[in-house]
Chains A and B, each alone.
Chain A
Amino acid sequence: MICERCHERPATVHVTKIVNGEKTGYHLCEQCAKEQGEILNPFVAGNAFDFNKLLSGLLNMESSSGYAPVQTGNLRCATCGMTYNQFTQIGRFGCPDCYDNFSSRLEPLLRRIQTAGTHTGKVPVKSGDQINQQRKLEALKRELQQAVSNENFERAAELRDEIRAFEQNSDS
């Protein structure tokens, strides 16, 4: 077996790591292992070669198993221009909008790498406020539609004024 780092000397050191109960290993020569040993600061090593490698492994598995390869070829983020194929190769998105633009492909992926598909943790104060306001506005609009279809015009007028006031407030 040849060293996976220098591809020159025979591999004599076998490094194993355990992620999620699964062992993965790689094989190095004495010299590369020594050099790696100095770089492989245990604190930092975790970041360098863990989850992203695992992820691109998963992604490649998916594309090789003929998992709708035709559609993914054309899927592209309208904001940053990254294609889904590029994403599967590098394992990183190009911009925050990629999440929405690739959402159809993202759901099954998230199911595999995360336990759930919905965030339940912290919400930022500022943009969280926007999210709450947005939710409120949408609720008012739904109520307005219902009032109109029920021909409850008095309530509809109230709601219209409320929505106007709300929108003016959030503009300022």
Chain B
Amino acid sequence: MSLSDFLQRAMSRWMKDGGPEDDIVLTSRIRVARNLQGYPFPILQTDSHANEIIEMVDKAIQSEPMRGLGVFELIRCRDLSALDRQVFVEKHLISPDLAEQEKHGAVVLRNDELVSIMVNEEDHLRVQCIMPGLKLKEAWELANQIDDALEQKLTYAFHEKYGYLTACPTNVGTGIRASVMMHLPGLVLTGSINRMLSAVSQVGLAVRGIYGEGSESYGNLFQVSNQITLGETEEEIVQNLQSVVMQLIEHERTARQQLLQRNRIQLEDRVSRSFGILAYARRMDSKETLERLSDVRLGIDLGIIQGVSSGILKELMVTTQPAFLQKYFARELSATERDVRRAALIRERLRLDDTEVHG
């Protein structure tokens, strides 16, 4: 199978489609936690409880209100190979925790993979809507519709005072976690990222970035999400996150322009070197891959690199993950073999864009 055929089949819509502000915002995601009345939370669940819940959810997704919202399919974890479960994790459709729930876990997928419903993870249900670009409101509207449709067939555990009851009290109330994945190389390169992030975390939002030694980061990718779920409405939570993200976007754009004006040569050199490494290297580990991809994506956004699609960062950060590589090369790979194959896949992928442009 050719790489483009493989990608055609393997990519979810959030990975290939663009969206508002997608030069900086990769995805918007809403996750809603729900539990069923009269059942213990999954942590104390028996086999029969788990099965009953899966069956009830399966019935609910086949009901009229759900059918109006798309084509849904329920898949039990035990019917997926360990590798396929890992692919689902890498596509952000399920959490690593659910992938381990071989016996009790299940996932409902909408055919475009913008919606996934995890069953018997930490909570009975976790409805997730993931959209490309900054589409928090759209993602919440969709999650809300799905929640309403499911609720016509399922009775949720709801408390007059505490709202939707969840296994962990950090999710109680709305049960909503809204998060935005941002690419912020400008703020990192200009050294203003830490100031920015601590300001963000002071307004009740959580920021996660994975750092190496010092302040060097992993692909300049950051996830900003709400931390409070009780005492604010869903709309307030979404609106608060949205406005902070808009401010971050503005600071990032300013930082990029500064870099272009003051350090153009260094920037062009850095971006071009990273492109060269991705295009020619014979071994790539995942950390370096993310870092080089971040540079290349910045180069594309600033017009330094042409002929490469801007979706390359989002696409390759998923498809160069271990399970995807093993899926594509159709064999088990050790960590060292993966580094070799990862480099090969990246080279092949870059040639694909090149032939589209020149050939």
Interface residues of A (CB under 8 A from B): 12-22, 33-35, 37-48, 50-52, 54-55, 79-80, 82, 90-96, 99-100, 106, 109-110, 113-128, 131
- Are B227 and A119 in contact (CB-based, < 8 A)? no
Q: Could you say which of A18, A45, A117 contacts B197, with CB atoms under 8 Å apart?
A: A18
- Are B155 and A114 in contact (CB-based, < 8 A)? no
Which B residues from 2 to 61 make CB contacts under 8 A with A? 27, 29, 35, 37, 39-41, 43-44
Q: Compute how far the CA of A94 lies from the CA of B122 in the bound complex, rounded to whole angstroms.
A: 11
List 5 tightest A-B contacts by C-beta distance, closest first: A116-B231, A119-B163, A96-B157, A114-B230, A51-B170
Interface residues of B (CB under 8 A from A): 27, 29, 35, 37, 39-41, 43-44, 89-90, 92, 95-97, 122, 144, 147-148, 151-152, 155-165, 167-174, 176, 179, 181, 197-198, 201-202, 204, 206-213, 218-219, 221-223, 225, 227-234, 285-287, 321-322, 335, 338
Contacts of A45 in B (CB 8 A): 208, 210, 223
Shortest beta-carbon distance from B152 to chain A in Å:
7
Closest B residue to A123 using CB positions: B158
Q: Compute how far the CA of A37 lies from the CA of B167 in the bound complex, rounded to whole angstroms.
A: 28
Contacts of B204 in A (CB 8 A): 115
Contacts of B152 in A (CB 8 A): 125-126
Which of B92, B165, B335 has the largest count of A CB atoms less than 10 A from its CB? B165
Which of B29, B44, B171, B229 has the largest count of A CB atoms less than 10 A from its CB? B44
Q: Could you say which of A33, A42, A113, A123 contacts B223, with CB atoms under 8 Å apart?
A: A42
- Are B35 and A41 in contact (CB-based, < 8 A)? no
Q: Could you say which of A44, A51, A124 contacts B151, with CB atoms under 8 Å apart?
A: A124
Q: Compute how far the CA of A21 lies from the CA of B204 in the bound complex, rounded to whole angstroms.
A: 9
Closest A residue to B35 using CB positions: A96
- Are B230 and A119 in contact (CB-based, < 8 A)? yes
Q: Compute how far the CA of A45 lies from the CA of B227 in the bound complex, rounded to whole angstroms.
A: 15
Given known pairs A41-B90, A122-B174, the reply for A48 and B97 (CB within 8 Å) is: yes
- Are B286 and A38 in contact (CB-based, < 8 A)? yes
- Are B168 and A91 in contact (CB-based, < 8 A)? yes
Q: Compute how far the CA of A122 lies from the CA of B41 in the bound complex, rounded to whole angstroms.
A: 21
